[in-house]
Amino acid sequence: MPGNLFIGPRGGSSDYQRSDDPGEEFESNAFVIVGTTAFGYLNQANSYIREYLLSTNNSSSGRAAVESIGRAISKKAPYDLNSSNWLLKQKKYSINVPRDEL
């Protein structure tokens, strides 16, 4: 599984970087770039991992996380950069989330 889900501008405070980079948090708008199916598996895995960690290592959550990750890792490289997935406003990039998803 790649360290990054997709290719895009890096986060930071300089010009032409991401204004919406979640850092180490879950990339909640990644569905725009990776598609809803892949995002669903990743979102499920994230939820199960958090549940596992918060519920003192509940083994059923751990197994469910592994199954979700197994479905998500069929893609072995980051998704390519697609300029239509990004908005540039005031020298900062953000994911181009459809208005009905906001």
What is the band of 82 on the pLDDT scale with cuts at 50, 70, 90? very high
Q: Over the range 29-48, which residues count as b (16 or more CB within 10 Å of their CB) and which as e?
A: bbbbbbeeebbebbbbbbeb
User: What are the residue boundaries of the structural domains of the chain, listed by start?
Assistant: 31-96
- Residue-wise pLDDT for 53-68, tens only, equals 888 777 898 899 889 8
Q: What's the average model confidence in pLDDT over 39-47?
A: 90
CA distance 7 to 79: 6
